[in-house]
Amino acid sequence: MAQADRRESTNDPARVAVTAAGVVSPLGFGLAETLESLRSARDCVTPVMRFAVTQCRCKTAGQVSDWRLLASYGQIPRSRRLHRASHMMIQALQELVTQQPEFEPELTVIGATSGGMSYGERYYRSLTGAGDLRHAPTWIANYPAQKPVTDAQTACGISAPCYVIANACASGTNAIGHAFECVRSGRYQRVLAGGYDALAEMVFLGFDSLQASTPEKCRPFDRHRSGMVLGEGAAVLALENLDSARARGASVLAEIIGYGISTDNFHITQPEPSGIGARQAMERALESAHVSAADIDYINAHGTATVFNDAAEGKAISALFNGVPVSSTKSMMGHSLGAAGSIEAVVCLLALQHQFLPANINFTTPDDGVDLNIVGNEPRSAVVDVALSNSFGFGGTNASVLMRKLEA
């Protein structure tokens, strides 16, 4: 090899492998349960029982089982003092570590929106209403957004420095994208990435007051959609330099190949109606990956089932892609905000591994003005080599990641 060629190859971006993943969501605990729910197109949205919703339009959410989530009591020091978000992160990270016990991250990047907001809310109400403040230290201690991350790392014996990205509903995808770029740049060999969010009464009431939540079924991209339902959960992925992973004999679940972001600067809660922000994020992900729109086999859409979001995202997808299968798995599990991008990245990972298209349930009538190939109501077997995952949030924050199946 000539000296110039050797220098050029040394400067090539590193390839980024996903070597393990862990997930907790309404779809289930772990990859196997999540896969089973996806293959059966299970509706995991249920009536809200954690707080009163009698005055709300929406009375349902995608919820993680408390009795299963808290089954780890006694195994973790002071576990009863931890927020539910910490338990979600602990269980997701424990699954990842079980798959790859030798994975030692140099950095952790996690997306979240509300942190321990429900505990902060309890403290504020007790303080202003002269309520019982006996539990105030626990509420305050669990409020910071990094607390579930540090709790999970402590439980799993990890001490990597941590970034928390709070970029609305794009947070989880931004975290994975940032971690991808950290490894791709060559600065890091192993980065832990993901996101979490727990259902909080204040957030639930906020979305309900905006009339963004629906009293009906969540039906993304359907002409008769009437709004979103909230969800919760956590997911983490082990990102590693592909050459390093292969050298140590690690299994490779998939490769992350591209990441794109944009900001609409249009409205605090509504996307730019033409879909230009969503389109720019997807175009930049394609450019980052050096692939074309024709190479994409599946799109896991942001698809919140709100009138404005689905219209804007639908226009962007229609303009870029010709007949690529699209689904929003939020129809099955709700919108988990900061966790959504990381959970949906796991959905894409499973679609690549098991060669199927997850369903967009509750779908009856195509939307006007867009040409989308919606995977309606039932999953499909398909050849899936490259999958695109979208996350778009309040304030016009848009993010897309691309994942590719790797042959053994």
The CATH number of the domain holding residue 343 is: 3.40.47.10
- The pLDDT value recorded for residue 155 is 92
Whether 285 is in a domain gets the answer: yes
Question: Does the pLDDT of residue 38 top 50, yes or no?
Answer: yes
Count structural domains, the chain: 1
- The pLDDT value recorded for residue 284 is 98
Q: How many CA atoms lie within 13 A of 171 on its CB side?
A: 29
Whether 3 is in a domain gets the answer: no
- The pLDDT value recorded for residue 408 is 62
Question: Does the pLDDT of residue 347 top 70, yes or no?
Answer: yes
Q: Which residue matches tokens 């009906």? A: 216
Question: Does the pLDDT of residue 146 top 80, yes or no?
Answer: yes
- The pLDDT value recorded for residue 268 is 73
- The pLDDT value recorded for residue 134 is 65
Residue 111: phi, psi to the nearest 5? -100, 140
Whether 4 is in a domain gets the answer: no
- The pLDDT value recorded for residue 266 is 79
Whether 2 is in a domain gets the answer: no
Identify the domain containing residue 284 by its residue range.
9-404
323-353: b or e for each residue (b if 16 or more CB lie within 10 Å)? ebbbbbbbbbbbbbbbbbbbbbbbbbbbbbe
Give CA–CA dist 113/125, Å, rounded: 21
Report the pLDDT averaged over residues 40-67: 95
pLDDT tens, residue by residue, 18-34:
999 999 999 999 999 99
Whether 336 is in a domain gets the answer: yes
Question: Does the pLDDT of residue 11 top 90, yes or no?
Answer: no
Q: Give Cα 382 distance to the centre of its chain.
A: 23
Question: Both tokens of residue 351?
Answer: 């679609």
Question: Both tokens of residue 116?
Answer: 């321990």
Contact status, residue 289 vs residue 402, Cβ threshold 8 Å = yes
Helix or strand (DSSP H, E) at 331? helix 330-333
Name the residue among 48, 364, 64, 328 with its Cα closest to residue 208: 48
**% the chain with pLDDT above 90:** 75
pLDDT tens, residue by residue, 155-165:
999 999 999 99
Q: Which residue matches tokens 């959905």? A: 347
Least confident interval from 111-120, 151-160, 308-317 = 111-120
Contact status, residue 237 vs residue 18, Cβ threshold 8 Å = yes
Report the pLDDT averaged over residues 115-143: 63
Report the pLDDT averaged over residues 378-386: 98
pLDDT tens, residue by residue, 62-85:
999 988 887 755 555 566 678 889
Give CA–CA dist 135/151, Å, rounded: 19
pLDDT band, residue 117 (cuts 50/70/90): low
Pick the more confident residue, 4 or 408.
Answer: 408
Question: Both tokens of residue 103?
Answer: 């994975």
Mean pLDDT of the chain: 90
Catalytic residue numbers, as ranges: 169, 302, 335
**% the chain with pLDDT above 70:** 88
